[in-house]
Structure 1
Amino acid sequence: MCLGIPGQIVEIKDADEGVAMVNVSGVKREVNLGCVLPEDGNLDALMGRWTLVHVGFAMSLIDEEEARKTLEILAELGELQEELDAMQNTEVD
């Protein structure tokens, strides 16, 4: 099952293409920021923010509390490890 999973934006990889690195429970993955780009285009404003990630896209920005609660629920449902394993298979250093 593919779920949206919270990840924290830790690096802007390519500002021109709107690509960032997110950290999802220790797994780093490149994501497209197209859906969450600030109106002023300042990608640096996204550093440290939490986003809901689905199939390589940052779908929406969420706050840290929502991210924590979502990760806890996914872990309780047994879905977190499945999603992390899937991300690990395509991890980018």
Structure 2
Amino acid sequence: MCLAIPSKVISIDKATHSVTLETMGVRRQASLDLMEEEVHIGEYVLLHIGYVMSKIDEASALESIKLYEKMIQSMDEEYIDEEYK
């Protein structure tokens, strides 16, 4: 199974056809080579293996990010529980 991560466009580099994205506090570069649609600063997109795949509306992006955060918290709690058994 592959996951696309909702990320916010922070900056756009037209020379390299890439963007800087922010995802849950982490910034990374991503290619726009697979995007047919124009993206703008402040929009949310789906990131998959270093490529922007499509746009996503802000409400859906924020809901997905909340779910990712809950999954990460749950995994952290399981890890801590296992460490102290």
Fold similarity call, TM over 0.5: yes
TM range, smaller chain: 0.7 to 0.9
Aligned residue-pair number:
75
In the alignment, the residues of structure 2 paired with residue 78 and residue 2 of structure 1 have an alpha-carbon distance, to the nearest angstrom, of 17
- Is there any run of 5+ residues in structure 1 with no aligned partner, and where? 83-93
Matched, 1:55 2:54: no
How big is the alpha-carbon RMSD for the aligned residues of Structure 1 and Structure 2? 2.5
Runs of 4+ in 1 over 3 A off after TM superposition: none
If asked which structure has higher relative contact order (CA below 8 Å, sep 6+), I would say 1
Deviations 1:24-52 (A, max 9, x none): 111110001122243xxxx5x52111001
Partner of 1:76: 70
From the CA coordinates, give the structure whose radius of gyration is larger. 2
Percent identical among aligned pairs is 27
Gaps of 5+ in 2: 77-85
Which whole-Å deviations, capped at 9, do the CAs of 1:57-93 have from their partners, x for residues lacking one?
Answer: 11110011010111111222238x89xxxxxxxxxxx
TM-score, normalization by structure 1? 0.67
